[in-house]
A and B are shown apart, each in its own frame.
Chain A
Amino acid sequence: MTAQSLFEKVWQRHVVVPETDDTPAILYIDLHLTHEVTSPQAFDVLRARKLPVRRLDRTLATMDHSTPTDTAQIFGGLPIKLESAARQVRQLEVNCAEFGVNLIGLQDSRRGIVHIIGPEQGATQPGKTIVCGDSHTSTHGAFGALAFGIGTTEVGYVLATQCLLQRKPKTLEIVVNGRLPAGVSAKDVVLAVIGKIGVNGGTGHVIEFRGSAIAAMSMDERMTVCNMSIEAGARAGMIAPDATTYEYLKGRPFAPQGTDWDKAVADWNTLSSDAGAAFDKSAAFDASTLEPMITFGTNPGMVTTISGNVPERPGDAVFAKSLAYMGLTAGERMAEKPVQVVFIGSCTNARLSDLEAAATILRGRKVARGVRALIVPGSQQIKLEAEQRGLAKVFTDAGAEWRESGCSMCLGMNGDLVDAGQYCVSTSNRNFEGRQGIGARTLLASPASAAAAAVRGRVTDPREFLG
């Protein structure tokens, strides 16, 4: 038998009807996560065609994008301030009630960002196909699942049939070997990867991240890496499951229990890419040479080291337009740039270890005068745990805002906004123009780098706070 990659194994298991020249494969979807923004029009299609949701046991809904992070609006009886957001949230409640979909609702203690609660509840598992009407579905690939974002029309297909029409993507192997230096995080790794291969480097491909630096990562870190696969244009990012994966999953509500667990692990152990498996493309990185990274432009590929300078590209009008939007000059140093906002949150970096990394720097220190620091846990469970461990107190003592979970300031649709012209060091995933608010200037970085910027009020290498 020919050597197969992790992706090929998971793909093959889910082919209902193989592809031909004339027709794509019919691919079975094990888990469909859905949220308030990209589902209403899909439920309308079901209604118009008098179709039920075919597999309620494989469908899980929550609300995260347009929900406020203000406690009074979630638990205090105040209405959601943004009227259109309130309508959208209500519409999801109506749709889930009408079709019988399991909804983790607004006040549910399990609620959070869809890509954080899937793993947290143990619904995300190795070998599964997972889709959601959201590009950051790639996050779940950290468990060795094939997980990718789809549009609303396809949300409707999956609700109605549990299947998608798919052409088999190509594969891209990204090998990261070596030991990460202290103060350099998974976020820095993935930013460096995107900086190298570009925002279109993964188009048409599923990435498999491998190598000793990836194997050494925790699940939280692996999720950060896979989360941003889409920022390299990839269909999905995947990491082979191993003992770290199983240790994370064991005992979680949706994870297999008892003897089923042992059977599942035995099966998951067969998923890793075979020795000699072929990839369509390959790229390699040496973790030991990486540094804390920060973006300077208007896409995640426009990234440099915090100790570095804005690159110079004379004659490139698009590059110049991007720098003009950012208010930066070619050749300018990134370090010491004053910042007005710090956002620690999003499906990229709002898990407990991200908050711990930020707290390590913020503990006993203050957010610089004139800086607004917003810290938004990825889920209500993470919020609770951060409060129990004293992290929340570290943040509020430092003068940061501590909020209810949600997508928050990652995208400007829930009331958490960066003002025009302000610089925001953000642990989120996209620095596109206007992403965090009209005219907002986003600098993507790791939680440690964001916390360092909050304390200094300037772009700062977090290693200055180490030891």
Chain B
Amino acid sequence: MDPITVIRSRTVVMPSTNIDTDQIIPARFLTTTVREGLGVSLFADWRYDQAGQPKPDFVLNQPAARGCQVLVAGRNIGCGSSREHAPWALLDFGIRVVISTEIADIFRNNSLKNGLLPVVVDEATHEWLLANPGVEVEVDLPASTLRLTDGREVTFPIESFSRYCLMNGIDELGYLLQQMDAIERYERTREGA
């Protein structure tokens, strides 16, 4: 994975609360056996009409959404199914940061594993972002800081090891494999082998 440092982008805003992973990508697209090409199915049931045509009033179909890498979502995004297809679809569409006041555990974890930054902000910042769609923001991963155009700097919590891996393009599986001595020791102790 390429190292991530600073992401600058306009925002696209979806104020719905509790956006679940079934909305991000419906189950019928889960029979794939690869992780590529899911962007076209992102938010499929909200994005397309029954004939499969893009709904013009859906925010991701509007010209202003083009090129936006930051999705501001209503409270508590990512609840429900553990499908990693959700961050895969967002990334494939071009989203690299998801901002909300709460982000569900499994979705947040899956996002971190794929380089999609889950950014949790306070209510006031969130309300400002919801009220100002399309605003340019800067997400500074090394500083764990979100910078807004009005000069505000908001720090966000992010698990330190995931941040280190994302900043340096380090693969967590490689790290785990390096711990094999400790793992084998643990197994010998517990299994009495």
Contacts and interface: CB of A to CB of B under 8 A. Distances in A.
Contact of B182 (A17, A156, A301): A17
A84 B32 contact: yes
Interface string A146-157: 000111111011
Contact of A156 (B27, B81, B160, B173): B173
A66 B106 contact: no
Interface in B15-63: 15-18, 20, 22-23, 26-28, 30-35, 45, 50
Contacts of B34: 40-41, 44
Interface stretch (A175-183, A428-436, A446-454): A428-436
A87 B82 contact: no
Looking at B102, B105, B177, B182, the one whose CB has the most chain A CB atoms below 10 A away is B105
A433 B22 contact: yes
Interface in B171-189: 172-173, 175-177, 179-180, 182-183, 186-187
Given A37-B31, A38-B83, A153-B84, A200 B172 contact: no
B182 A23 contact: no
Contacts of B172: 157, 165
A28 interface: yes
Given A153-B113, A161-B183, A200 B102 contact: yes
A412 interface: yes
Given A133-B82, A167-B159, A16 B22 contact: no
Looking at B30, B110, B179, B180, the one whose CB has the most chain A CB atoms below 10 A away is B30
A161 B180 CA distance: 8
A318 B110 CA distance: 26
Given A16-B179, A38-B84, A199 B76 contact: yes
Contacts of B186: 16, 28
A44 B35 CA distance: 10
Contact of B82 (A38, A200, A432): A38
B39 to A, nearest CB: 16
B183 A163 contact: yes
A91 B10 CA distance: 40
Interface string B145-162: 000000000000001110
A321 B74 CA distance: 14
Interface residues of A, number: 64
Contacts of A135: 80-82, 106
A233 B78 CA distance: 10
Nearest to A39: B33
A203 B161 contact: no
Interface in A165-205: 165, 167, 169, 199-200, 203-204
Contact of A413 (B17, B28, B76, B161): B28
Contacts of A386: none
Nearest to A156: B173
B104 interface: yes
Contacts of A413: 27-28, 30-31
Contacts of A162: 183, 187
Contact of A40 (B15, B33, B175, B183): B33
Interface in A403-453: 411-413, 430, 432-435, 438
Contacts of A318: 15-17, 74
Interface of A: 16-17, 21-24, 26, 28, 37-38, 40-41, 44-45, 49, 51, 65-66, 82, 84-85, 87-88, 91, 133-135, 149-154, 156-157, 160-163, 165, 167, 169, 199-200, 203-204, 230-231, 233, 235, 299, 301, 317-318, 321, 411-413, 430, 432-435, 438
Given A160-B176, A318-B16, 18 more contacts: A16-B182, A23-B161, A26-B183, A37-B31, A41-B34, A82-B31, A134-B82, A153-B114, A160-B173, A162-B187, A165-B175, A200-B76, A200-B79, A203-B76, A301-B18, A412-B26, A432-B23, A433-B45
Interface of B: 15-18, 20, 22-23, 26-28, 30-35, 45, 50, 74-76, 79-84, 87, 102, 104-106, 109-110, 113-114, 159-161, 164, 172-173, 175-177, 179-180, 182-183, 186-187, 190
12 contacts: A17-B182, A44-B34, A87-B31, A151-B110, A152-B35, A152-B84, A152-B110, A163-B176, A199-B18, A299-B18, A318-B16, A413-B30
